[in-house]
Chain A
Amino acid sequence: MKSLAFTVAAGCLSAGLALAETPVLTVYAPDYFVSEWGPGPRIEELFEARCDCDLQFKPGDLLPRILLEGDRTEADVVIGLNTDVTKKARESGLFAEHGVDLSPLTLPIDWTDEVFLPFNYGHTAFVYDSTRVDAPPASFDALLEAPDDLRLVIQDPRTSISGLALVLWVQSVYGDEAQAAWEKLAPKIVTVTKGWSESYGLFTDGEADMVLSYTTSPAYHIIAEEDETKKAAIFPEGHYFMVELAARLATSDQPELSGAFMEFILSEDFQGMIATGNWSIPAALDRDKWPDGFQKLDLPENVLFYSEDEAAALRGEAIEAWRRALSQ
């Protein structure tokens, strides 16, 4: 009896030691990442299969939390950042270079950033239901001139990434005329929501004809629901580029693991999964390897993008043009 107890105790002890020796990679990710419908579980499975480590997601706020924690953050890697925060993040000095060869990237723009590594992308677009909208606007100008009974929902640029991308989109298409463009758009805007989810919910409930979303949104409906009626209106003026990024923390106590994770992000395993995992276009995968539903997408030829410095300089003005026009 005694020996059994001893064996059990020894067994527990060694299991505990083995557990303690498995290195842990702590990854901060946006909240939707970790649900069973998000890409988190698949990323964890694929990476743990190759790293002999324990990947732990910590969902929630990304940069606000890291800035609050400063150099005491326990994050090794952060995934899911957007270009609107890269400047602030870079200036904090908390992030290290990713050290990954960027030549496999298949983005529609040049990307040479040594700190922030893209893993998937899309473009802002107005998504509509082709059973409800017969003649979708064929250009941004046509959208501005559309009759006022075309109902749009958009997101607030002060609280949402996609909302901010929209005001930068308008800014890059219309420049000094941005406020006038917003004034034409204003009567068509049913409402402005805090985030993307609320807008998309209003759209699927039939409350609006078109919703500010992404060029990749129809892929979800094609693949998951076999529904080809949801489409993105493609404008020749161009669409604003939206990319999601990962970065390593300089303070990480697992520099090798976080480096391996960065390499993993551009690997075919990760890239092949991310399209249907996060409903966005893989950052380093040729179009013929995308899932069928993605190959069917209408994508813009002209892609608009401001560097982080340009965006930082324009942002206040672009939001003010939006606010003034819509407050009248």
Chain B
Amino acid sequence: MAPRALAIAAALALAVLTLGPVGVVLARAGGFGAFGPGDWQALRFTLWQAFLSATFSVVLAVPVAKALARRRFAGRGVLVTLLGAPFILPVIVAVMGLIAVFGQAGLVNRLLGALGGPNLDIYGLHGVVLAHVFFNLPLAVRMLFSAWAAVPAEHFRLSASLGLSPRAQWRVIDAPLILRVLPGAFTVIFVICLTSFAVALTLGGGPRATTVELAIYQAMRFDFDLGRAAALAVMQLVLALAAGLVALRVAGQAGFGAGRDRILPRWDGQGGLARGWDGMWIVAAALFLLVPLAAVVLRGLPGLLLITPDTLRAAGHSLMVALGSTALCMAWALPLATRRGEFLALPAIAISPLVLGTGLFLILRNFVNPFDMALPVTGLVNALMALPFALRILRPEAEAVTRDYGRLRASLRMTSLAWLRLVWLPRLRRPMGFAAGLTAALAMGDLGVIALFADPDRATLPLQVYRLMGSYQMEAAAGAALLLLCTSLGLFWLFDRGGRLGAEA
């Protein structure tokens, strides 16, 4: 029963870390505070933008992921990695990249201006949704893409030898697959967008685009109203859990069974029209996701010369935090890779980092000096925040392995160790590589709870970017941001590649 004990321990740690800090903040405040003026408007806006952002992200992800899954072309592997980049980009860097492309003085407007077209205004609800799609489309694409890659090749061969029409194949393979993956992807993205703050504010164009997280920030930092902050944070949690419950009801169809893991050519979609269609989606997604990244790179190049030992040290700290978070998150995720575990983990994305940080600060200062704990706490919080993503990636695959190979295990009477070593881990290598890469990159770019736990000698790289900007060093900040982009992407690539080594998909 050891695995079960492990799962319970992991679940308990999760519950304590997500609900504990809120409880402590609440206790300190002496109860919930009343909502302020504009809080209800903030709630409405938050829900609406999260709904729109998640809808556009998952709907657009379907043709892109399908095209990437069935086409083979030079540079496909690199493209798949690069397309994942926006999701792991620090918010401030990504927003600057988007503005360089879609802003008033951006690329699109300069092109339109040269052609005598109208001036495009990015600021508003549409800008917020655009930015959220930019961040989250890669996540949805990768989830779908992984699911398509996990369909045994025998299915496609069978469908080809039966001469199924594209419509029939859609009905038999694609549609069930999409139905299985999409609700989960929608929920995760919806919940991420619930806690959006800086993106919504910068691109929203003003107080119309106020989110709940901004109200929490205001209550916490400006009004010192812990009660109101706790009330808002609990509201955010309840919304996330409600979304999670709905997704659990909708999703959960069976997978596609086991195959022999051979890479077979695909016979479907070889017509000119299908090729053109797929090509169009791949090019459109690449342009949308990669041009802003290129803008970040271009802005950062001159600043690379201004990188100082301080910045490099900060990069080292971030690297340590990222690796620690990744190890912790993987160890945490494997015992929880079940339906119940995933539901339990969902609040971890929806919990306000500000409230989490404050709660942890209040707890920890009874035992240690919080300043000495800056990096460990950042690592822990990042592992916690990445856990829902890791589970979203691991859980369907983990369950499929148990379902598909459980009979084999029983008939061979495999020991737990042999099962883990010979079946479970090898079969989960690809999603684990992806999940680890994602965790590492997210931990690299996250500012998280550092404001209360700042340590003068151990800044992280994102914090250094902010410090430089706060001292008029915009060019140096752009250079540091580019360094951050490269290290995040590098880490992601290493882990993701490690997981895919030897498997061509």
Contact = CB atoms under 8 A, between A and B. Distances in A.
Interface of A: 30-32, 34-38, 40, 56-61, 63-65, 67-69, 72, 74, 84, 88, 151, 156, 158-159, 164, 186, 189-194, 196-198, 200-202, 204-208, 217, 220, 224, 279, 320, 322-323, 326-327
A286 B37 CA distance: 45
A231 to B, nearest CB: 15
A38 B202 contact: no
Contacts of A191: 123, 202-206
B206 A67 contact: no
Contacts of B456: 34, 40, 56-59
A113 to B, nearest CB: 20
B421 to A, nearest CB: 45
Given A31-B463, A190-B205, A206 B105 contact: yes
A159 B214 contact: yes
B469 A197 contact: yes
A192 B207 contact: yes
A198 B202 contact: yes
B201 A31 contact: no
B402 interface: no
Contacts of A158: 214, 217-218, 222
7 contacts: A37-B467, A61-B452, A65-B452, A67-B224, A68-B452, A207-B99, A224-B472
Contacts of B104: 151, 190, 207-208
B470 A32 contact: yes
A31 B123 contact: no
Contact of B224 (A88, A151, A205): A88
Contacts of A206: 105
Interface in B203-262: 203-208, 214, 217-218, 220-222, 224
A64 B469 contact: no
B197 A192 contact: no
A261 to B, nearest CB: 17
A34 B371 CA distance: 15
A63 B105 contact: no
B228 to A, nearest CB: 13
B173 interface: no
A192 B41 CA distance: 18
Nearest to B38: A323
A84 B221 CA distance: 12
Contact of A37 (B218, B221, B365, B473): B473
Contacts of B353: none
Interface in B267-316: 299, 308, 310
A59 B455 CA distance: 7
Interface in B355-407: 358, 361-362, 365, 369, 371
A194 to B, nearest CB: 5
A59 B469 contact: no
A65 B463 CA distance: 18
A282 B96 CA distance: 33
B474 interface: yes
A29 to B, nearest CB: 9
A134 to B, nearest CB: 17
A64 B214 CA distance: 16
A207 B467 CA distance: 21
Contacts of B467: 31-32, 34-35, 37-38
A197 B95 CA distance: 13
Pick from B92, B206, B450 the residue with the most CB of A within 10 Å: B206
Contacts of A164: 222
B434 interface: no
Contact of B218 (A35, A67, A84, A159): A159
B308 A200 contact: no
B471 interface: yes
A31 B451 CA distance: 8
A57 B100 CA distance: 36
Nearest to A199: B202
B202 A200 contact: no
Contacts of A322: 207
B472 A279 contact: yes
Contact of B365 (A64, A69, A156): A69
Contact of A194 (B105, B197, B361, B474): B197
Interface string B149-173: 0000000000000000000000000
A202 B473 CA distance: 13
B347 interface: no
A314 to B, nearest CB: 15
A65 B361 CA distance: 9
A9 to B, nearest CB: 27
B216 to A, nearest CB: 11
Contacts of A207: 99, 103-106
B96 to A, nearest CB: 7
A194 B201 contact: yes
Contacts of B450: 60
A292 B107 CA distance: 39
Pick from B106, B362, B454, B466 the residue with the most CB of A within 10 Å: B454
Given A191-B206, A208-B104, A64 B224 contact: yes
Given A63-B224, A192-B206, A205-B105, A36 B201 contact: no
A129 to B, nearest CB: 12
A24 B197 CA distance: 38
B217 A159 contact: yes
Nearest to B469: A197
Given A190-B205, A323-B207, 14 more contacts: A32-B470, A36-B308, A37-B473, A40-B456, A64-B221, A68-B361, A158-B218, A159-B217, A191-B123, A191-B205, A193-B202, A194-B202, A207-B103, A224-B472
B96 A205 contact: yes
A84 B223 CA distance: 10
Nearest to B99: A207
A181 B430 CA distance: 58
A118 B483 CA distance: 38
B468 interface: yes
Contact of A189 (B106, B198, B206): B206
Contacts of A217: 472
Contacts of B217: 158-159
